[in-house]
Amino acid sequence: MNKTTCKSWRRAAAVGATLGALALPLAAAAADAPVKIGTVLSLSGPAAVFGLPERDAINVVAKKLGFKSPGGRPFELVLHDDKSNPTEAARAVTQVINNDKVVVVVGPSTGSGILAAGPIASRLKVPLIAPAGTMAVGDRKNEFWPWVFRMAINDATSIEFILKDMAKSKAKKVGVLYQEDAYGKTGVDLAKEIAPKLGLEVVETVSAPYSATDLTAQATRLRNAGVDTVFLQVSIAALGTSFLKAARQIGLDKPIYANAGLAQRSFAENVGPEADGLRTLSIGNLPFEPIAEEKELSDLLKADGKVPQGWGEIVGANGLLAALAAIDAQAGKEITGESMRTALEGLCGFRSYARGKICYSPDNHDGWDGSSLTIVEIRDKKMRTLD
Amino acid sequence: MTFSEFILRGVLAGSIYVLLAVPMSLLFSTVRTIDFAVGAYALVAAAVAASVGGVLGIAAGLGAAVAGSAAMALIFLLLKRFGCHNHIIYALASFGVATALASAVLWQYGTQSFVRDSFSQFWSLAGIRISPQGVLNLVTALVAVTILYVVIQRSQLGRMMRAAAVNVMGSELAGIPVELIQVGTYLVGGLLGGIAGLLILFTAGLDYSAPLSLTLSGFAAAIVFGIDNPFRALFGGLAMGVAEALAAGYTSGMVTSMVPFLFLLIVLGTSRFGDATVAGDRT
């Protein structure tokens, strides 16, 4: 055994890593854009399904604007991958603020990433524009609440929207499948809380880990509970696919609804006939039936060679537009993280690529209400917007 | 009826775990390390098969999975050439290969999930609706395990594989082509991982984020009754599938995901397999 060679490899790797780490601040010091906007998004890992469209939209909007805000202020984007990992999200936010000197951060992409990065943003006094619906992100009990501005619909609003559509169909007994994480658990708890107010009852809940390759047992349990309709609180497309196949296999022939995680072009196009009739919540319908504001964004993406995927592009693009609107609100002034926070709290009805109006205030950091939401139905590999 | 239905569904689901566990068992029998890229081979096979389509797609998918395992085998050989004979390093390297393969799939195919239809009709077994695909999965797993068992336990090649695992230098002195056997074992692992990926493609679907969880499920199935024998991997995979199905059927909430791991802990902690399971006993 040649341990020396092994050690020398390790030593070389350590030296390489150190040199790499040293190179980062040097590269940042060379940059000279007047206003720097950080984008910390999930470009790899499970949440890349949202992070990649967010990044694409931010890039095409920035290019279209010529890297100048609508008011003419030049800006620069500093992009980091949080790897769908809260620890990495916190580290990346620290880096873009301390090393790259950004005055606002769009991201991180996931609720857990935002919760991890929030205390850092608060300590370093730089606001986060958060593209996630996780309720805890907008909890006013968080010490970092003043520094987090949501650029998505909160989960309570989303789930109420879905349950209202269910209630229209005369369904009474609801079964819920949720993924085993904070997103899934919060969703099922909210569904149980909201359902009775709409004349519904959650009669059975089942869960599945990310790794599940077969959900026939879960589907069987919902079928045996005699549910009238099923709600999927999942964001992992493979789980949604697996459940739809399982439901078909075991004869669970009931209307199925899903939260916005499955409102993706790739999901609609790849699942097959099992997805026909699936209703999912979505922020707009960018890939298939965009309204005028969304179509503009869709065209920008297509012109850049991208295929619009879903609402990820909408929250990403509007996150950047919110940051730029806040910059323009401070024309002629020195811009800091603190001044960005104050400016964001005064934003309302700025130009956006969405069907709803986005308004922040000192008491409201959620921004969007339910007016931007829609229910889409998957049919023939397309998402059709329902009235 | 309900209990037997959950048992049956668990057995059918567990057959996928068997195909993920067997390559780990096989590699451990031969090289005394674990290839944690098995889940990535499954993903690569599914992604390529889904994009190419048809029978050609299946062949291309298997080819891509074997190519992935060939890359891992090459890294294994390079590490040996540079004097690294630490089995932990081989295992860690396989994590790197898994990450690289998953990233390549993400880069090439994006975040889409890979899924294909197989059978549109279902069978009824004592009143339980089952998919022919599930039966195909189980039969494939049984055939793979049987072939490997016969090869390892009853053939000259199997004896050379076991000898190479027990005593590398002695095997080389006896004229056994140890490195060739080791590389071949990595390739067979890639093939089996690829088959698992194809079956998942037609059963439930998967996406770029699947490799790690698939690998961990396979690893759990491989070690539960002892990692040194493909037949134990068979029973481990089926037992994990049944434990998961019963947990999903009879427990609530987050407890569901704990049950299979509690089962694993209980078996490892109390059974006669005990410590020797992970160490690779031959009893």
Amino acid at A332: G
H/E stretch holding A385 reads strand A382-385
Q: What is the structure's pLDDT at B168? A: 84
How many distinct helices (H) and strands (E) make up chain B?
12, 2
Residue B9 in contact with partner chain A when CB distance is under 8 A: yes
- Say whether A217 and B217 touch across the interface (CB within 8 A): no
- Say whether A205 and B214 touch across the interface (CB within 8 A): no
Shortest CA gap A181–chain B (Å): 9
The tens digit of pLDDT for each residue in A119-176 reads 999 999 999 999 998 888 999 999 999 999 999 999 999 999 999 999 998 889 999 9
| Domain membership of residue A195 as a residue range | 155-288+374-385
**Most trustworthy range by pLDDT among B90-94, B163-167, B222-226, B261-265:** B90-94
d(CA A154, CA A177) in angstroms, rounded, equals 19
Mutation target to probe the A interface, by most A beta carbons within 10 A, among B113, B121, B137, B262 is B113
Q: What is the structure's pLDDT at A361? A: 95
* pLDDT surpassing 70 at residue A23: no
Do residues A112 and A207 both lie within one domain? no
Shortest CA gap B82–chain A (Å): 7
Q: What is the structure's pLDDT at B101? A: 96
**Most trustworthy range by pLDDT among A21-30, A93-102, A352-361, B216-225:** A93-102
**Average pLDDT for residues A325-342, to the nearest whole number?**
93
Q: Which of residues 182-201 of B touch A (CB under 8 A)?
A: 200
Residue A269 in contact with partner chain B when CB distance is under 8 A: yes
- Say whether A48 and B111 touch across the interface (CB within 8 A): yes
Do residues A316 and A240 both lie within one domain? no
The tens digit of pLDDT for each residue in A247-301 reads 988 989 999 999 998 999 988 988 888 899 999 999 999 999 999 889 999 999 9
Collapsing DSSP states into helix, strand and coil, what is residue A282? strand
Do residues A281 and A179 both lie within one domain? yes
Q: What is the structure's pLDDT at B223? A: 87
Mean of all residue pLDDT scores within chain B: 88
Do residues A216 and A339 both lie within one domain? no
Chain A residue numbers with beta carbons less than 8 Å from the beta carbon of B113 are 237-238, 241, 266-267, 270-271
Do residues A104 and A144 both lie within one domain? yes
Provide the b/e sequence for A326-363 (b: ≥16 CB within 10 Å). Answer: bbbbbeeeebebebbbebbbebeebebbbbbebebeee
Do residues A102 and A48 both lie within one domain? yes
Of all residues in chain B, the percent with pLDDT exceeding 90 is: 50
Do residues A243 and A379 both lie within one domain? yes
CATH, residue A321:
3.40.50.2300
Do residues A112 and A5 both lie within one domain? no
Pairing of strands B123-125, B128-130: antiparallel
Shortest CA gap A241–chain B (Å): 6
Residue A213 in contact with partner chain B when CB distance is under 8 A: yes
Query: What is chain B's Cα-based Rg?
Result: 19
pLDDT band at residue B126 using 50, 70 and 90 as cut-offs? confident
d(CA A266, CA A310) in angstroms, rounded, equals 9
Q: What is the structure's pLDDT at A45? A: 82
Q: What is the structure's pLDDT at B1? A: 58
Domain boundaries, chain B: 16-115+128-211
pLDDT band at residue B264 using 50, 70 and 90 as cut-offs? confident
pLDDT band at residue B272 using 50, 70 and 90 as cut-offs? low
Mutation target to probe the B interface, by most B beta carbons within 10 A, among A56, A179, A186, A214 is A214
Whether A344 contacts A337, CB under 8 Å: no
A358 against B263, higher pLDDT: A358
Do residues A94 and A194 both lie within one domain? no
Of all residues in chain A, the percent with pLDDT exceeding 90 is: 69
Nearest CB partner across the interface for A49, out of B111, B116, B210: B111
> Which residues, 6+ apart, have CB-to-CB distance to A65 below 8 Å?
A324
Chain B residue numbers with beta carbons less than 8 Å from the beta carbon of A236 are 207, 209
Q: What is the structure's pLDDT at A11? A: 53
Number of domains within chain A: 3
B225 against A16, higher pLDDT: B225
Cβ-count burial of A289 within 10 angstroms (0-12 exposed, 13-18 middle, 19+ buried)?
A: middle
**Average pLDDT for residues B205-222, to the nearest whole number?**
88
B228 against B221, higher pLDDT: B221
Residue A305 in contact with partner chain B when CB distance is under 8 A: no
Whether B19 contacts B196, CB under 8 Å: yes
Nearest CB partner across the interface for A213, out of B85, B110, B203: B203
Residue A208 in contact with partner chain B when CB distance is under 8 A: yes
Do residues A68 and A129 both lie within one domain? yes
A385 against A27, higher pLDDT: A385
Collapsing DSSP states into helix, strand and coil, what is residue B273? coil
B154 CB neighbour count, 10 Å cutoff: 10
H/E stretch holding A300 reads helix A292-303
pLDDT band at residue A1 using 50, 70 and 90 as cut-offs? very low
The tens digit of pLDDT for each residue in A201-223 reads 999 999 988 778 789 999 999 99
DSSP 8-state secondary structure symbol assigned to residue B149: H
Do residues A193 and A263 both lie within one domain? yes
> Which residues, 6+ apart, have CB-to-CB distance to A297 below 8 Å?
A57, A60, A61, A286, A290, A308, A313, A314, A317, A353
Q: What is the structure's pLDDT at A197? A: 95
Do residues A245 and A306 both lie within one domain? no
